[in-house]
Structure 1
Amino acid sequence: METNQYLDVFLDESREHLQAINDHTLRLEKEPQNDGLVNEIFRSAHTLKGMAATMGYEDIASLTHKMENVLDLIRNKQLQVTTEVIDIIFIAIEYLEEMVEAISNGLDGKKDVTELVARLDRFEKGEAAAAVEPSMMEPTAEITAVPVDLDEFQMTILEQGEEQGFAAYQIIVELSEESILKGARAYMVFEALEDKGEVIKTNPATEDIEEGNFDHSFEMIFLSKESPGELESLISKVSEVHNVQINQVSFHSENEAIEEDEIEIEEEPEKVHPVDQPDAAAPSHQPAKTIRVNLDRIDDLLNLFEEVVIDQSRLNVVATGINNLELTETVEHMNRVSSDMQSLILAMRMVPIEQVFNRFPRMVRGLARDLNKQINLEIIGADTELDRTVIDEIGDPLVHLIRNSVDHGIERPEERKNSGKPEEGNVVLRAFHSGNHVFIEIEDDGAGIDTEKVKQKAIDNGLVTNAEAEQLSEQEVSQLILASGFSTAEKVSSVSGRGVGLDVVKNKIESLGGSISIESTQGEGSIFSIQLPLTLSIISTLLVKSQAETYAIPLSSIIETVLLQKEQIMTSHGQKVIDFRGQIIPLLDLREVLAIPGHGEEEKEHAVVVMKKGDKLTGLVVDHLIGQQELVLKSLGDYLGDVFAISGATILGDGQVALIIDPNALIK
Structure 2
Amino acid sequence: MISRKYTSLYIASNKKQLKKLNEIILSLVKKPDSNILIENMFRLIHSMKGGAATMSFKKTVEFLHTLEDIVEAVYNGSLKLNRKILDTFFDTVEVLRRNLESIGKNGRQIALDKQMAVLRTCFRGQRKNASVRQKANLSQKKTILNDLHIDAEIAVSTDHLNTLQNLCDDLLIGVMQTKNLAKKQGLADILSLSVETDTTVNNLRRELEKLRIVPLSDIFSSLPYLVRDIAREQGKTVALDLEDNDLSLDKAILDELIEIIIQLLKNAVSHGIGLNQKNGRITLRAALVDDSMELLISDNGRGINWRDIVAKAVNNKIISAARSKKISRKELDDLIFMSGISATENTDFVSGRGIGLSLVKDRVQALGGKIKVTSLPGKGTTFVVTIPLPLSIFRSLVLRLGPYQLAMPLFHVTSVVRPDKLINLEEQKWFTSGYHKYRILSLTKKLSLRSLKPLSKYVALMDYNGKHLALPIASNIQERELVMKKTPAALKRLDYIKGVGVTSDGQPILILDISQLSQ
TM-score range, shorter chain: 0.7 to 0.9
2:39 and 2:132 in contact (8 A); partners too: no
**Counterpart residue type for residue 393 of structure 1:** E
| Residues 528-547 of structure 1 mapped to structure 2, 5 A cutoff | 528-535=383-390
**Which of residues 389, 400, 405 is equivalent to 2:252?**
389
State the TM-score, normalized to the length of structure 1. Answer: 0.60
Alignment match, 1:633 = 485
| Residues 191-230 of structure 1 mapped to structure 2, 5 A cutoff | none
1:386 and 1:438 in contact (8 A); partners too: no
Alignment match, 1:527 = 382
**Partner Cα separation in structure 2 for residue 22 and residue 547 of structure 1:** 58
Alignment match, 1:315 = 178
**Partner Cα separation in structure 1 for residue 89 and residue 401 of structure 2:** 61
1:541 and 1:552 in contact (8 A); partners too: yes
Query: Is the alpha carbon distance of 1:470 and 1:343 closer, same or farther for their aligned partners in structure 2, counting shifts above 3 Å?
Result: farther
Cα drift, residue 349 of structure 1: 2.0
**Which of residues 122, 140, 153 is equivalent to 1:175?**
140
Query: Is the alpha carbon distance of 1:588 and 1:43 closer, same or farther for their aligned partners in structure 2, counting shifts above 3 Å?
Result: same
SS in 1 for 2:139: strand
Query: Is the alpha carbon distance of 1:108 and 1:242 closer, same or farther for their aligned partners in structure 2, counting shifts above 3 Å?
Result: closer
2:179 and 2:190 in contact (8 A); partners too: no
SS in 1 for 2:118: helix
**Counterpart residue type for residue 90 of structure 1:** F
State the TM-score, normalized to the length of structure 2. Answer: 0.75
User: Are 2:87 and 1:87 aligned?
Assistant: yes
User: Are 2:506 and 1:655 aligned?
Assistant: yes
Cα drift, residue 302 of structure 1: 3.4
2:9 and 2:153 in contact (8 A); partners too: no
Alignment match, 1:463 = 318
Q: Deviations over 1:207-255 (max 9, x none)?
A: xxxxxxxxxxxxxxxxxxxxxxxxxxxxxxxx76979xxxxxxxxxxxx
1:449 and 1:478 in contact (8 A); partners too: no
SS in 1 for 2:296: strand
SS in 2 for 1:454: helix
**Partner Cα separation in structure 2 for residue 333 and residue 508 of structure 1:** 41
User: Are 2:290 and 1:435 aligned?
Assistant: yes
**Partner Cα separation in structure 2 for residue 325 and residue 3 of structure 1:** 52
Cα drift, residue 376 of structure 1: 1.9
> Larger deviation: 449-458 or 382-391?
449-458
SS in 2 for 1:112: coil
Query: Is the alpha carbon distance of 1:643 and 1:322 closer, same or farther for their aligned partners in structure 2, counting shifts above 3 Å?
Result: closer
1:176 and 1:240 in contact (8 A); partners too: no
**Partner Cα separation in structure 2 for residue 240 and residue 325 of structure 1:** 58
Alignment match, 2:239 = 376
1:444 and 1:526 in contact (8 A); partners too: yes
SS in 2 for 1:363: helix
**Partner Cα separation in structure 2 for residue 327 and residue 145 of structure 1:** 67
2:282 and 2:300 in contact (8 A); partners too: yes
User: Are 2:226 and 1:363 aligned?
Assistant: yes
Query: Is the alpha carbon distance of 1:499 and 1:366 closer, same or farther for their aligned partners in structure 2, counting shifts above 3 Å?
Result: same
Cα drift, residue 530 of structure 1: 1.2
Alignment match, 1:401 = 264
Q: Deviations over 1:410-430 (max 9, x none)?
A: 2344xx5xxxxxx31221111
Cα drift, residue 551 of structure 1: 7.7
Alignment match, 2:463 = none
Alignment match, 1:485 = 340
Query: Is the alpha carbon distance of 1:545 and 1:118 closer, same or farther for their aligned partners in structure 2, counting shifts above 3 Å?
Result: same
1:645 and 1:663 in contact (8 A); partners too: no
SS in 1 for 2:505: coil
Query: Is the alpha carbon distance of 1:465 and 1:139 closer, same or farther for their aligned partners in structure 2, counting shifts above 3 Å?
Result: same
Query: Is the alpha carbon distance of 1:483 and 1:51 closer, same or farther for their aligned partners in structure 2, counting shifts above 3 Å?
Result: same
Alignment match, 2:33 = 33
**Counterpart residue type for residue 302 of structure 1:** Q
**Counterpart residue type for residue 28 of structure 1:** L
User: Are 2:97 and 1:97 aligned?
Assistant: yes
**Partner Cα separation in structure 2 for residue 144 and residue 313 of structure 1:** 61
SS in 1 for 2:129: coil
2:302 and 2:377 in contact (8 A); partners too: yes
Greater relative contact order (Cα < 8 A, sep 6+): 2
Query: Is the alpha carbon distance of 1:520 and 1:333 closer, same or farther for their aligned partners in structure 2, counting shifts above 3 Å?
Result: farther
Query: Is the alpha carbon distance of 1:424 and 1:324 closer, same or farther for their aligned partners in structure 2, counting shifts above 3 Å?
Result: same
SS in 2 for 1:404: helix
Alignment match, 2:109 = 110
**Counterpart residue type for residue 506 of structure 2:** G
SS in 2 for 1:632: strand
User: Are 2:129 and 1:140 aligned?
Assistant: yes
**Partner Cα separation in structure 1 for residue 273 and residue 300 of structure 2:** 7
**Counterpart residue type for residue 501 of structure 1:** G
Alignment match, 1:495 = 350
Alignment match, 1:157 = none
**Counterpart residue type for residue 213 of structure 2:** M
CA RMSD, 1 decimal: 4.8
**Partner Cα separation in structure 2 for residue 145 and residue 473 of structure 1:** 69
